[in-house]
Chain A
Amino acid sequence: MNFTLQNILREGWHSRLNSALMLVALTGAVTLLTAVHLLTAAAERETRRVVRDMGFNLRILPKDTDPERFFLEGYSENTLPADTVTRLAAGAGTFITFNHLTPVLERRIRLGGHECLLTGLGDTVVGPGEKKQPMGFRIAPGTAQLGSILAERLGVKVGGTVEVAGRTLRVERVLLEAGTDEDVRLYTALSDAQIALGLPGRISEIKAIDCLCLTADQDPLPKIREALLQLLPEARVIQMRALADARAKQRQASERVSAFAVPMTLLVAAVWILVLAILNVRQRRVEIGLWRALGTGSSRIAALFLGKAVLLGGLGGALGWVVGTLVALRWGPVLFPVTAASLKMDLSLIGPALTWTPLFAAASSFLPAMMAVSQDPAETLRADG
């Protein structure tokens, strides 16, 4: 075995406390980074799921929609061609601002002597390469989903049927009481709604989520409207500000945690290693002077310190990956119960852990190593003047 490597190993064992503390710092840093990486991914999934469950926050309407009528009725009385969704999806930069584009046709109708809102939902279009679940419901043609009050009024249960403009639809699901107008809605496939309402090939709006994730004080609406003007000049957009704001805040909070945790972890670990490496150099001043007296070159002396850092870095990287993964798998499901099943070990982190940790440790020990190299041996070796 190489003489320098042997000396590094022997010194590492001799200075067990210093080595152990350095290893703890490196392992701790990699543990935190691995756990933060896995948990951040989980948090993002959770956030995405939570904000998705908040619902759509953008409503893209025909430009000539009367705002007063829209807010009084709850839907636009005007319509757009149904292929507006595909045209919007094909536009350059659409998915920078918009996502989960869902075509909708809504009207107030009478059903079994009761007034309700008929909502026909088309298939959701998501950004290219995304595997996002469609928003809201996917409703098969010939089926329907009923709000709780509507189902109660009609006396219909799951498996029953409803007659809509002469068409019989099977009730797939009765929704839980929402405390909103959803309780008096009848959801159908878009095609069924178009037939029932005599509006084939038409939609009354496109529901979407804004991807800018800017909070209200960051004034996202002008940006959204400008984007829509470029993509779909025949439409206008209404933002449901409270929902959008809550979504943006949730998302930004999650991003801030990552943006804080990663550099803080690296900084604390770097300072920790720097201090320990300086202590190690100070403890070994006489030894360094001796190596100098024996004619050992600067590079070999630096190698004693940097080599120790690299070895501990490799060990800390491996240990940190294991511990960080265990921590994330143990506590991740507690923190993120909704997406717990998607928490898995990430083998792709092993390579970076084993590569970057030794480099990071060496970089943190570089200054102390240079101190060791530049130390005046005469100062430590003389008996007296």
Chain B
Amino acid sequence: MDDAMNSPLVEASGLTRNYASKPGVVAGVIDLSLRVERGEFVVIQGASGSGKSTLLLMLGALLRAERGTLRIDGVELTRLSAVERSGYRARSVGFVFQLFHLVPYLSVHRNVLSGLPSGSAVELSEADRWIDALGLTERRDANPATLSAGERQRVALARALVKRPPLILADEPTGNLDPDNAARVLEHLDHYRRSGGTVVLVTHGSEANRYATQRLRLEAGRWAVPSAFPPL
């Protein structure tokens, strides 16, 4: 157990995935290696089409690697069946998306609850706790369509955090937010990291740099040289 807790949360080696994202354009990642320790806030930057989202979806077991190994929290993802990968996502990963992706017919409270497996009484109160923590108490029963962009992203954040997963994967979480709301979301992610969680965030912006414990840059599906980054 101790060994497991001392081992890196994410270990990837030789990860490769190609696919046609648009006619004539092959996107993906090529021969990527990655190591993320527990409690890290990893920021992965890159231009559109550089492979950031592909990598993130592979870390979330939503995309299979064509080659390479990917071990997260002691589990080798490339060997899991579809059912096992669903179980892995339900237990170990929280997603935050640029477009929020809230379920349009569920209230704020129900959206947060959708991140939990059973909807038990304990989970109901946990959902309320996160709604309060993210300043959404007044909007608990509101429909997502009536929320501002910042509120929607905080609901998505609460949904990701409510099950306290070891790993949060955030895909351009501030891309649709104004600077104040973007800072607020990043503060919450950083708070989660400081409480023991691990965050991997992909972005083409620089707002998250100040929270990063490790910064990486992707260019055409490969890591850019470390000198491309300014000093932390």
Contacts and interface: CB of A to CB of B under 8 A. Distances in A.
Contacts of B175: 383
Interface in B35-76: 48-54, 57, 60, 62-63
A382 B114 CA distance: 20
A298 interface: yes
| Chain B contact patch, size range | 35 or more
B62 A377 contact: yes
Contacts of A7: 103, 105-106
Contact of B53 (A11, A13, A293, A385): A385
Given A11-B105, A286-B101, A385 B82 contact: no
A378 interface: yes
Interface stretch (B6-14, B83-91, B132-140): B83-91
B21 interface: yes
Contacts of B216: none
Interface stretch (B92-100, B147-155, B186-194): B92-100
B128 interface: no
A294 B87 CA distance: 9
A378 B54 CA distance: 8
Contacts of B101: 286-287, 289-290, 293, 381
A45 interface: no
B99 A383 contact: yes
Interface in A3-22: 3, 6-7, 10-11, 13-15
Contacts of A166: none
Nearest to B56: A382
Contacts, number: 91
Contacts of A14: 104-105
B210 to A, nearest CB: 21
A10 B109 CA distance: 14
B172 A383 contact: yes
Contacts of B172: 383-384
Interface residues of A, number: 27
B21 A378 contact: no
Nearest to B156: A290
Contact of B86 (A11, A292, A381): A292
B115 interface: yes
A385 B57 contact: no
A378 B57 contact: yes
B27 interface: yes
Contacts of A13: 105
B103 A287 contact: yes
A296 B118 CA distance: 11
A293 B103 CA distance: 12
A287 B104 contact: yes
Contacts of A159: none
Contacts of A291: 114
Given A3-B119, A10-B105, A14-B105, A384 B48 contact: yes
B104 A385 contact: no
B97 A297 contact: no
A61 to B, nearest CB: 77
Interface in B172-213: 172, 175
A134 B160 CA distance: 79
B51 A385 contact: yes
Contacts of A292: 62, 86, 89
B62 to A, nearest CB: 5
Contacts of B103: 7, 287, 290
A294 B114 contact: yes
Contacts of A11: 105
Given A14-B105, A292-B62, A294-B114, A382 B54 contact: yes
Contacts of B89: 292-295
Contacts of A3: 113, 118-119
Interface in A269-305: 286-287, 289-298
Interface of A: 3, 6-7, 10-11, 13-15, 286-287, 289-298, 377-378, 381-385
15 contacts: A7-B103, A290-B101, A292-B62, A293-B60, A293-B62, A295-B88, A295-B93, A298-B83, A378-B62, A378-B63, A382-B57, A382-B171, A384-B49, A385-B27, A385-B50
